[in-house]
Amino acid sequence: MRPTWMFGDVKMFCRVAGWGIALLLLVSPAASGVESNSSFDSATLSVAADHDGTQDQIEIRPQDQATTQPDEQTEGPTAQDAQTPVQVSSLGPADPPIDAPAVAEPFGLATLPVVAGQILTKWSGVEADIQSDNQVLDHCRANTEDCPEAARNFLAIIAEGRAQSGRARIGVINRAINFAIRPMSDLAQWGVPDRWSSPLETFKTGRGDCEDYAIAKYVALMQAGVAAADLRLVIVHDLSVGENHAVVAVRFGGEWFVLDNRWLTLVADVEVARTVPLFVLDGNGVKEFATVATSGFRRAATPGEDTASAPGALRERP
């Protein structure tokens, strides 16, 4: 911000300007040096893009709204009215801290806590199921002979990830889970439009839709040693197909990367095209991205709809 006062003394002006530059350097994010792959070629997208002709059904109801002020750590507008309904489809030490400024949330947007609604209810239920799964995994580590097959398969992926470090750990788990689950809609598998399953339930059936992939990756990464503070499950709206979609965001080197069941690469959040982030979920509950909540963006958007209200950084790249 430019100063609003006029300085008679040139030396004083330079001194104050120097202080301002120093302050900006202190608060500006440092370059992480982590490369991202944002080229979505056909081979990459073919991993799990075939959903057997079905669509994900992530249900968002009017009650799923933020009702409090933005977090103190970030700045953003307050929430307005309820949203339009839409049908769409740790164990062990964490990695050592990296000397890079942390970005508060994926996509660099402020968030508002959600205190009620279907999304919060579903996530609370999944968190309880995850705790039960963790007890099974602990039992399996102590007694490998008396261990369900689903737990053994899930533990094998976790062990494969723990054998790696840094970005390699994230990539190994992302690829392994993408290949371990066959894409199938909740309607086809369970007879309901939207059902969130714990990792062991998903590995027991070997089938799932986008949120089942995301939940399994979220738990596997945490079990493999990624800090809970560096993990998020994110609900986004994919403008390319007009559907809501679930992904995992992992912070590495001070930068957030998105893990999607539709590709194998780790993609920086700022490089994800035609995507509007809606909700972020973690061990602290559910939050809504404040910028989207107050932008007038309609979650029932269809392909080709005007997306001028979407965050600028997330519009389709030229």
Compute the average pLDDT of residues 120-125: 96
State the CATH architecture for 45-314.
Roll (3.10)
Please state the pTM of the whole predicted model.
0.68
Q: Looking at residue 24, what is its pLDDT?
A: 38
Question: 136-151: per-residue pLDDT in tens?
Answer: 999 999 998 899 999 9
The pLDDT mean for the chain works out to: 74
Question: 225-268: per-residue pLDDT in tens?
Answer: 999 999 999 999 999 999 999 999 999 999 999 999 999 999 99
Task: Report the distance separating Cα 145 and Cα 136, nearest Å.
Answer: 13
Question: 46-73: per-residue pLDDT in tens?
Answer: 444 444 444 566 767 656 666 544 444 4
Provide, rounded to the nearest whole percent, the portion of the chain with pLDDT above 90: 57
SS (H, E, C) 218-286: HHHHHHCCCCHHHEEEEEEEECCCCEEEEEEEEEECCEEEEECCCCCCCEEHHHCCCEEEEEEEECCEE
Q: Taking the domains of the chain in order of start, what are their residue ranges?
A: 45-314
Segment holding 113, helix H or strand E: strand 111-113
3-class DSSP assignment, residue 189: helix
Best CA proximity match to 104, nearest among 80, 127, 71: 71
- Confidence class for position 178, pLDDT limits 50, 70, 90: very high
Q: Looking at residue 291, what is its pLDDT?
A: 72
3-class DSSP assignment, residue 58: strand
Compute the average pLDDT of residues 14-37: 38
Instruction: Give yes or no for residue 125 having a pLDDT over 80.
Output: yes
Task: Report the distance separating Cα 184 and Cα 15, nearest Å.
Answer: 63
Q: Looking at residue 67, what is its pLDDT?
A: 52
Phi, psi of 219 (to 5 degrees): -70, -45
Task: Report the distance separating Cα 233 and Cα 236, nearest Å.
Answer: 10
Compute the average pLDDT of residues 10-20: 41
Instruction: Give yes or no for residue 104 having a pLDDT over 60.
Output: yes
- Confidence class for position 290, pLDDT limits 50, 70, 90: confident
Q: How far is CA 80 from the centre of its chain?
A: 23
